[in-house]
Amino acid sequence: MSDHWTILSPVSRPPAIEEDPNAGPFRLNRPLAGVKVGLEVDYAWLCYVTLIDEWERLLKADGAVPMTLWVERSRDAPERDPNEVRAEVDEWSKLIDCGVVGLGN
């Protein structure tokens, strides 16, 4: 009996892709003071409430103006028209200088 085990991974390697020179984190290139920072969250991710509260606190401490949009999407509220949700997000996006949206927050 051998004292050596080999564990094989069932995960394949991702395909090689060229690096996008524009990829990476967004840079504001100015102080946060006075910047309207949009934070979008939907009701499907209630665990996100704690994170949003903390981001709002930190942004305010740096002089930014957090503008949180709570979106009730059609999967959470089937009676809601997806076009209505899209219009709500579009209007909010016109009020902010930059935004943090999606699961990648």
pLDDT band at 56 (very low <50, low <70, confident <90, very high): very high
Range of the domain at 54: 40-100
Q: Model pTM greater than 0.95?
A: no
- Residue 11 in domain: no
Inside any domain, residue 82: yes
Total of domains in the chain: 1
- Express each pLDDT in 66-78 by its tens digit: 999 988 765 656 6
DSSP 19-80: PPTT-S-----S-STT-EEEEEEETT-TTHHHHHHHHHHHHHHTT-EEEEEEE--TTTSTTS
Q: What is the pLDDT of residues 77-104, one digit of tens each?
A: 667 787 888 899 899 999 999 988 765 5
